[in-house]
Amino acid sequence: MQQDSKQQEHGHAAHAQHHEHRHMAFADAEKAAVKFNSPTRDEWQKPEEIVAALDLQAGETIADIGAGTGYLVAHLSKAVGKSGTVIAIDAEDAMIEYLASRVEALGPATVIPHKVRPDGPKLADASVDAIVILDTWHHIEARPEYAKTLFAALRTGGRLVIVDSPLEAEIGPPAQMRISPEQVMQELSAAGFQVRIADESMPRHYLVVAGKG
Ligand SMILES: C[S@@+](CC[C@H](N)C(=O)[O-])C[C@H]1O[C@@H](n2cnc3c(N)ncnc32)[C@H](O)[C@@H]1O
């Protein structure tokens, strides 16, 4: 994954290769977890900054799109607490199975693994308070349409945070998959969001905050 090799993200060398991985096995998810959930990841991923940008309150419902092996779910769960809910969304069966095997460990919030197709998060309108997309927005193909579904899924006052790799970062996805923060802002504002680039201290990522007024 990102700390292991330049121009190669989480073992996905390019979109084509990503699609080959679509039917990964549970064992592959366990292998991915060794990297995604590495105990040293917090040092550069700064999950506390992502959680702060989401402005989460106890009892809220947050969707983590592209939840993978639950690295961020653990942090989100603590922020919304026992009365809160984390919907852990992924397009890969193996990731969903892996998440399902860990829902108790990912407490105290109620954690709901949610399998989706790649073209939409399958969330009801006005059903969530916040959405986070970590290292996954660049995997979404029809982003303008996808952004509209995110806007609809959020309640009024809802927040969307997208964390992804800058074009110039030394470590991250292949160059052809990267999206600039300015492009992300454009995609989200076209869907109706109020957007800004947040201050952060992550060496490998930017953080875009979008609000539904
Ligand atoms: C690079 S991993 C990041 C995982 C996690 N967010 C993290 O940072 O550890 C990308 C994840 O997004 C999922 N994914 C890719 N495209 C997706 C889509 N269109 N909808 C939902 N999940 C998707 C993949 O299966 C994978 O688990």
Q: Report how far apart, in Å, the C-alpha atoms of 206 and of each of 91, 134, 166 are.
A: 23, 10, 6
DSSP classification of residue 198: P
Pairing between strand 154-164 and 85-90? unpaired
pLDDT for residue 1 is more than 80: no
Q: Which of 8, 89, 90 to mutate to test the pocket of ligand 1 (most atoms within 8 A of CB)?
A: 90
Q: Summarize pLDDT for 160-208 with one digit per residue, the tens.
A: 999 999 999 999 999 999 999 999 999 999 999 999 999 999 999 999 9
Report CA(164)–ligand 1 centroid distance (Å): 12
For the entire predicted model, the pTM comes to 0.91
Q: Summarize pLDDT for 124-137 with one digit per residue, the tens.
A: 999 999 999 999 99
Q: Which of 24, 114, 136, 171 to mutate to test the pocket of ligand 1 (most atoms within 8 A of CB)?
A: 136
Report CA(69)–ligand 1 centroid distance (Å): 9
For residue 64, what are the β-bridge partners?
Answer: 88, 132
pLDDT for residue 21 is more than 90: no
The predicted structure's pLDDT at residue 24: 86
Residue 22 CA: which ligand 1 atom is closest? 25
Beta-carbon contacts of residue 186 (< 8 Å; ≥ 6 apart)? none
Residue 141 CA: which ligand 1 atom is closest? 19
Ligand 1 pocket by Cβ (under 6 Å): 9-10, 36, 65-68, 71-72, 89-92, 95, 116, 118, 134-136, 139-140
Find how far residue 57's CA is from the centre of its chain.
19
Report CA(135)–ligand 1 centroid distance (Å): 7
Lay out the sheet containing 194-197: strands in order across.
110-115, 85-90, 61-65, 128-134, 154-164, 206-211, 194-197
- pLDDT confidence tier of residue 22, bands split at 50, 70 and 90: low
Report CA(91)–ligand 1 centroid distance (Å): 7
Q: Summarize pLDDT for 69-83 with one digit per residue, the tens.
A: 999 999 999 999 999
CA distance 134 to 115: 17
The H or E element that residue 190 is part of is helix 181-190
The predicted structure's pLDDT at residue 9: 45
CA distance 85 to 87: 6
